[in-house]
Chains A and B, each alone.
Chain A
Amino acid sequence: DPKIIQKPKYLVAVTGSEKILICEQYLGHNAMYWYRQSAKKPLEFMFSYSYQKLMDNQTASSRFQPQSSKKNHLDLQITALKPDDSATYFCASSQPTGGIANSDYTFGSGTRLLVI
């Protein structure tokens, strides 16, 4: 059974629209993250949350907003979508006992977003 569930697996959106990417983890972890990977680029860190509080935000655009309604959820709302937002978005979690930098991450299988 997948320990981190990302929904949907694939998503096609129209430029200017808004979408929410879902992430739920069943590992009992207290830290969650979002990463993005565009073609031929590194996996790019976006956000980290620990105990449902934002720890780090490396995303320049306010169009990307994480939402943590429950401890094991970290959804990603993207507004005013642009073609450049097309990428695979990965959610991850860890148990930050010794700090975020020292914890082992578990990743979901990603949501592939295409903006047309």
Chain B
Amino acid sequence: GDSVTQTEGQVTVSESKSLIINCTYSATSIGYPNLFWYVRYPGEGLQLLLKVITAGQKGSSRGFEATYNKEATSFHLQKASVQESDSAVYYCALSGGGRALIFGTGTTVSVSP
């Protein structure tokens, strides 16, 4: 079936350092899935951070970037310089084939001052 894998459950990074969160996907029933990153800040619901629907394209929002790599089936999230306010849970997701979003397990990011 279709699935999303986030290998890191928890990441701690110092403020102003760079961050990368890995995401790979398997889309056996969807030829060209749409790819998303959602973020959940403490006490809030998930919010869409960015999405990319075309292979090879890059999405960006709030200093975060992710590139849709169809060959590697990856959609890693990166930020060059994190702030304390970036502490949150980040979820990679895919959709396609008329189906609702499929999520990964989420990565908890803690940014220390």
Contact = CB atoms under 8 A, between A and B. Distances in A.
B45 A45 contact: no
Contacts of B104: 42
B48 A40 contact: no
Interface stretch (A67-75, A79-87, A101-109): A101-109
Contact of A108 (B45, B53, B102): B45
Contact of A42 (B48, B95, B99, B103): B103
B91 A90 contact: no
Interface in A47-63: 48, 56
A10 B75 CA distance: 33
A41 to B, nearest CB: 6
Contacts of B4: 42
A107 B45 CA distance: 5
Interface of B: 3-4, 9, 34, 38, 40, 43-48, 51, 53, 91, 93, 95-106
Contacts of A106: 45, 47-48
- Which secondary structure dominates where chain B touches chain A? strand
B47 A107 contact: yes
A101 B99 contact: yes
Contact of B48 (A43, A45, A105, A110): A105
Contact of B95 (A35, A37, A102): A102
A107 B89 CA distance: 14
Most buried by B among A48, A90, A101: A101
B43 A109 contact: yes
Most buried by B among A41, A44, A105: A105
Contacts of A90: 45-46
Contacts of B48: 104-106
A74 to B, nearest CB: 13
Contacts of A45: 99-103
